[in-house]
Structure formats: C-alpha cells, structure tokens
C-alpha cells in the first residue's frame, strides 16, 4: 500500500513537472516588468543586449504581434536566450521619455540596446515570426545592425550590399531617407546584379510598378525568377504590380481596361484574390458613382467574402459614406456594411464610430447616439486624441434634432 502511494505521488509530481515545463515552453517571450534602469543593469550583469517592444494600448499591429508572434515557441526560444526582453507603453510611465530619447515615431517599434542604453538596432511594424527572429539576428550581427549600416553609409560605403541593407532598414523608420538610399541603389544596379540573390531582394522590396525598371525587368524574367525562388514568391510580386496597374486604371476611369485586368483575379481559385477583386470592383463603382453596381457587388460580399471581415466592411462603409454623401442608395448600403461590421466585432472602436457617423449622416439620431456612446466607451482604452474625437462626435449627435 505504501509503495502504491509513493508511486502515485511520484506520478503526480512528474506530471506536474511535465505540465509546468510545457507551460514554460509555450509561455512566449518573457518580458521584464522592472524599471528601465534595472533592465539595463541586468543587461550589464548577463552580457545580453536589451530588446524593447515599444507599444501603445490602441495599436492594432502591437496587439497582433503579442497574440501571434511573441507567443511563438521559436521566437520565444530565440529572444529569451539572446536578450533581456522588456516592453513598455509609450504613453505611460517611463514610456514618453524613452519615446523621445530613441525617436520612436510609429508603433510597434522594436529597439535593441546595449547595457549602456545605446541603440544598436531598430525595426518597426507588424511582421511574421521568421522576419521578427531575423531582426533579432541582425541586432546581434555587428555588420548588419541598423547602427552599423548607418555608420557605414555615413562613412561613404556605397556597395550594393550596404545600400540594400540600409534602404531596407530605413523603409519603415524613415521613408524619405529610405527612398533616397534606394534611389542610389537603383542607379548603380546592373542587369547582371538583378539576376543575383541581391537583385532578387531589391525586386522584392522596390518593384512596385510595371513601368519602373525593376518591374519591367521582373516581368521580362518571370520564368527565371520562378525557377530560382519559387512560384509563391513570384506571385506575390505579380499581385503587387497588378494592384498598381488596377489603381492607375481606376483613376483614369478606363472601364474596359480595368475589367480586362481584373478578370484573372475574379476567375482565380485563390479566395484571397477573389476577395481583393471584389474590393477593387466595389471601389471602382463607388469612384464613378455607379450606386446600382456598387450595391450589387457589396451585396455579394455581404453573403460571401466580406461577411465576417469587419475591417474590410468598416473600410468600405467609410469610403461609401465619404464619397456617397447625398446619395440615398449609397448611404443605405453604407449603413448595411457598417452594421454588419458591428455585428462581427462590436468591441472595436472603429466599427462603432463608423456606424455612428453613417447613422448621423442619414438622420438616424437614435441609432447614431447608441453607436457613438459605444464608441466613446471603447475610446477610453485608446489615446487621449481619439477619446477627444469620440467625445466631440458624441456631443454632436446629442445635439441632433
């Protein structure tokens, strides 16, 4: 009996240990909660650099990273082993001072610092796990970190490798400077360079139009790029060039050419392309004031691709409300789209705000007031600026007769 009890106890503790270990492995990146000075001190003791996730409470990409990337086992294993991890709201506590100190302008921003608090690398924006881990590897590489590239460029290094890496690093942190550096790169890249892996990286980053040099070269050599880098990567660039061409035709109101170019997406087996085609078609009809066809297309979306996509529904509703003001049919459709967005995600500030604005423009005070009050309550978790806008909008609607 005693042996049996002992065996049961051993099994219990073993199971608990396994469960705890499993929980630890899936807990994600471990972020310190200390004061900034304590984090730097820990960096000094361990020799590990500091990684800081600079976020705000209202930043959707920040929340996406927290939900999808920071909890990833691969990302967590890498960052927990290599860095002292720290995250801080840029609008609270020490956040504003750190924001000013390191020139944080967009969210999320990822800072990599040494124990002295000196910047060694910087990146921004939502990114998938492999890209996020790669940014950490760059921070650890003296030749590839942001600060190293900046220093090399400042000292006159204009090699293709430095220009490309520096331009890519600047893309999301300083667009104007990034464009300047990428222009230097484009001017010196030869056709032979474009056939190399470096050239492929340049095309992936900077080919945006069928009319620019990179776009033309890519389209003339699609077969070679497909052979070397795979169909999915090539299709991504083709889609980007196609989007640019479609928007240009949309601005020209060239119906024949627009729908000829749109047809392959409409007939595609890829749901993402079909959805994108529907969004483009709706935007085209809205742009030319064709209410009948806009309603036909968005009704199709409400029954299909857009039914549960509150972000797209709210976006189209805002476009419709803005461009269709004074058109009863378009405003009624804007209402249907905005209403469905709220049904899908009632706790999203932008959805309630959009519905409130549409109802206000339609003279529907009761529902506008309900949505505006909901938007204001949700705005309390956002920035003071958004709170102010929400409060002002609510007061406007309260004054409606």
* pLDDT at residue 326 in the model: 82
List the single range of 199-208, 271-280, 322-331 with lowest mean pLDDT. 322-331
The three-point CA angle 296-298-304 to 5° equals: 110
Average pLDDT over residues 118-127: 94
Average pLDDT over residues 356-384: 91
* pLDDT at residue 7 in the model: 43
Under 8 Å between Cβ of 205 and 171: yes
Q: What is the DSSP string of 253-300?
A: T-HHHHHHHHHHHHT-S-HHHHHHHHHHHHHHHHHTT-HHHHHHHHHH
Backbone angles phi, psi at 85, to 5 degrees: -95, 135
As annotated, the residues of the chain forming the CATH 1.25.40.10 domain(s) are 253-401
Under 8 Å between Cβ of 349 and 378: yes
List the single range of 16-30, 208-222, 268-282 with lowest mean pLDDT. 16-30
Q: What is the pTM of this model?
A: 0.76
Where does residue 363 fall: left (phi above 0), alpha (psi -120 to 50 degrees), or beta otherwise?
A: left
Output the 3-class SS for 108-153.
Answer: CEEEEECCCCCEEEEEECCCCHHHHHHHHHHHHCCCCCHHHHHHHH
Residue 212 structure tokens: 């620019």
| pLDDT at residue 26 is higher than 50 | no
How would residue 208 be classed by pLDDT, with cut points 50, 70 and 90?
very high
Q: In sequence order, which ranges of 172-230 are alpha helices (DSSP H)?
A: 175-188, 191-194, 197-206, 213-220, 222-229
Q: How far apart are CA 85 and CA 107, in angstroms?
A: 17
Q: How far apart are CA 327 and CA 173, in angstroms?
A: 41
**Residues 213-265 pLDDT 10s:** 999 999 999 999 999 999 999 999 999 999 999 999 999 999 999 999 999 99
**Residues 301-332 pLDDT 10s:** 999 999 999 999 999 999 999 888 789 999 99
Q: How far apart are CA 356 and CA 58, in angstroms?
A: 20
As annotated, the residues of the chain forming the CATH 3.40.30.10 domain(s) are 36-140
For the structural domain made of 253-401, what CATH number should be given? Answer: 1.25.40.10
Tracing tokens 């220009």 back to the chain, one arrives at: 163
For the structural domain made of 36-140, what CATH number should be given? Answer: 3.40.30.10
* Neighbouring residues of 58: CB distance < 8 A, sequence distance ≥ 6: 349, 381, 382, 383, 386
Average pLDDT over residues 342-357: 95
Sheet of strand 119-124: strand arrangement: 84-89, 50-55, 109-113, 119-124
Nearest Cα neighbor of 29 from 88, 69, 56 is 69
| pLDDT at residue 278 is higher than 80 | yes
Under 8 Å between Cβ of 54 and 111: yes
């Amino acid at each position: 009996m005693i042996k049996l009890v002992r065996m049961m106890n051993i099994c219990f503790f073993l199971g608990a240990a396994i469960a705890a270990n499993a929980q630890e492995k899936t807990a994600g990146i471990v972020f310190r909660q200390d004061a900034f000075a304590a984090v730097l001190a820990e960096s000094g003791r361990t020799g590990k650099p500091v990684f800081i996730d600079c976020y705000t409470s209202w930043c959707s990409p920040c929340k996406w990273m927290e939900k999808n990337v920071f909890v990833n086992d691969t990302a967590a294993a890498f960052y927990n082993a290599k860095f002292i991890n720290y995250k801080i709201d840029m609008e609270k506590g020490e956040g504003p001072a750190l924001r000013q100190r390191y020139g944080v302008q967009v969210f999320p921003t990822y800072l990599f610092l040494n124990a002295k608090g000196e910047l060694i690398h910087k990146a921004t924006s939502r990114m998938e796990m492999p890209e996020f881990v790669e940014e950490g590897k760059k921070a650890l590489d003296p030749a590839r970190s942001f600060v190293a590239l900046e220093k090399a460029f400042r000292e006159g290094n204009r090699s293709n490798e430095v220009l490309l890496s520096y331009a890519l690093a600047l893309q999301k942190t300083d667009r104007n400077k990034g464009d300047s550096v990428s222009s230097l790169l484009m001017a010196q890249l030869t056709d032979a360079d474009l056939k190399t892996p470096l050239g492929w990286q340049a095309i992936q980053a900077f080919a945006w139009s069928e009319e620019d040099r990179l776009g033309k070269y890519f389209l003339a050599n699609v077969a070679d790029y497909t052979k070397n880098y795979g169909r999915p990567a090539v299709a991504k660039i083709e889609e980007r060039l196609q989007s640019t061409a479609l928007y240009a035709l949309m601005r020209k109101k060239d119906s024949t050419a627009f729908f000829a170019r749109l047809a392959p997406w409409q007939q595609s087996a890829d749901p993402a392309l079909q959805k994108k085609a529907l969004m483009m078609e709706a935007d085209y009809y809205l742009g030319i004031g064709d209410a009948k066809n806009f309603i036909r297309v968005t009704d199709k979306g409400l029954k299909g691709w857009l039914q549960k996509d509150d972000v797209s529904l709210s976006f189209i509703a805002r476009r419709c409300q803005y461009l269709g003001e004074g058109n009863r049919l378009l405003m009624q459709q804007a209402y249907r789209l905005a209403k469905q967005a709220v049904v899908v995600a009632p706790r999203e500030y932008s959805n309630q705000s959009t519905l409130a604005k549409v109802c206000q423009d339609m003279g529907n005070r009761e529902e506008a007031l309900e949505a505006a009050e909901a938007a204001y309550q949700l705005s309390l978790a956002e920035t003071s600026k958004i709170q102010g806008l929400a409060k002002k909008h609510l007061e406007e609607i309260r004054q409606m007769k």
